[in-house]
Structure 1
Amino acid sequence: MLKGDMERVRRLESQSQALQAEIAALRGLHKKTECSMAMQFKGRMQDALLSLSGKLAAEETVWKMKAEVEEMEEDLKQQTQMNGISLTSCTVKTLHKDDRQVVQQYCLAGSCLDLGFQVDFQLSELFPAQVTISKTITKMDIVLDTDDMEISSFMSR
């Protein structure tokens, strides 16, 4: 092979390795994003699984988990009836992530007493050396599906 061909092969191999590393990082980021959404229900489910640890057959474990999910669904239904807020969608997109900070964009849509709304905001989580974690909401936008100027001006304030 010629010297130029060898150099080109090295460059292509280097680019290939960089792309493979980026793919691995993106897969890890995707997995962590999915995990962060599941953390809302982690505590109750984890307690149930720990109490089951090896004592119950797989079929009984599934039955208990199903009962737990049904209980959570009933709690959500009661909360919706009490406060009149019903969420129809929730999307989360990770904008930035490193060892010290994670910035995610949230978009919630739903209705409250037949008034449609959408809330967009960024959640920044800082992981300093201490145990406490700092969470900050920034860039919050609220869009209401109404022509009522009083409500719109109140929400914009």
Structure 2
Amino acid sequence: MENIYRVYEDEIRSLEEEIEILTQKFENNKQEPVFYSDEEIQMSIKSLQGESKWHESLPDLKPELDCLKSDLSFLMKFTGIWFTNFSKITVKKTGNKTIQKHRLSGNCHSLPFQMEFQLLEIQNEESISAVVSDLSIIMECGEYSDLGKFVSCAEERGNLLLFFRSLSSFAEWCEHRKCTFQHFKAKYPDIIRLPEGTSGDYLVIRSPELSGFELIIVWKIYVDEEGRVTPVLDLLPKIPAQALVDKAPAVENGPQCFRNMLLLLGIEASIESLIQAVSMEK
């Protein structure tokens, strides 16, 4: 029995000694300095330098952002296209391919529009390519039937560049026509009539001397399926029956003379010439 107890006592004493040795080693390690290799030190220095450069570059971002805002403002004024809302959602991303869904709305001069489309971006080592699909454009084309047909073609082709380029040209011509009508109505309020307002497509010049005598200037703006925008002006004389006999040659030649004037003088000067001629009519 004593032998058994002696064995247990020896084992306990051995364990206690081992615990004491391990404790002493732990205390010694706490006091020893920690050494790093040259490679670890260089990595730490590079990391700190990178963070320092990033913080130093932050002040440079504001001038760059202001420059981008200035460029965007110039483009919007130049094209007449103003975006009022924009959002995008990443639909799928696999490897070097990303599919995003874009929604945006805005105005091109006085013409509002909304659209949404999917954009597939493929990023290679040297470049990034993008493909537009599922293009949907919402516009109130109203009396502009040609514009409605063009929008449908742009949707089918998914050609955003063609759409914005042609829309900008079309809206600019509409704005130019509106400003021209406003100008002549303000300058000659008793002679000029705008039955459909400044947004209409024709202007009426009334004779102050001869009742019923009018010259109607029709100003249409066409856009074909290829996006080509063409303004077309024509003259339609309205002559009273009693004056028709004497002025028959002028009535017949009037539209062709007006078209010749457009080529020589331009739109505003040609309209001004007609107003002056009608104002002096006796």
Whole-angstrom CA distance in 2 between matches of 1:77 and 1:71? 10
Deviations along 1:131-154, one digit per CA (max 9) or x if unpaired, are 554421111111113313221122
Greater alpha carbon shift after TM alignment, 105-114 vs 117-126: 117-126
2:135 corresponds in structure 1 to 140
Q: Which of structure 1's runs of 4+ aligned residues deviate more than 6 A?
A: none
Task: Give the Cα separation in 2 of the matches to 1:156 and 1:122.
Answer: 17
Change (3 A) 1:71 1:134: closer
Instruction: Decide whether aligned partners of structure 1 residues 110 and 133 sit closer, same or farther in structure 2, where only a CA change above 3 A counts.
Output: same
Q: TM-score, normalised by structure 2?
A: 0.32
1:74 to 65, 70, 74: 70
3-state SS of 1:67 partner? helix
- Structure 1 pair 135/146, CA: closer, same or farther in 2 (3 Å)? same
How far has the Cα of 1:107 moved from its partner? 1.0
Let me know the Cα RMSD of the aligned residues.
2.9
- Percent of counterpart pairs with the same letter? 25
In structure 1, the gaps of 5 or more residues are 1-49
SS in 2 for 1:121: strand
CA-to-aligned-CA distance 1:65-107 (integer Å, 9 cap, x gap): 3222222222211111111011111111112222253211111
| Shift in alpha-carbon separation, 1:78–1:100, aligned structure 2, 3 A | closer
Q: 1:121 aligns with which of 117, 122, 140?
A: 117
Looking at CA atoms only, which structure, 1 or 2, has the larger radius of gyration? 2
Length-normalised TM-score, structure 1: 0.54
The alignment of Structure 1 onto Structure 2 pairs a total of residues equal to 102
Question: In 2, distance between residues paired with 1:76 and 1:135?
Answer: 21
Unaligned runs of at least 5 residues, structure 2: 1-49, 154-282
Q: Give per-residue Cα distances to partners, 1:35-83, cap 9 Å, x unaligned.
A: xxxxxxxxxxxxxxx9x937xx85x943x43222222222211111111
Q: Secondary structure at the match of 2:66?
A: helix
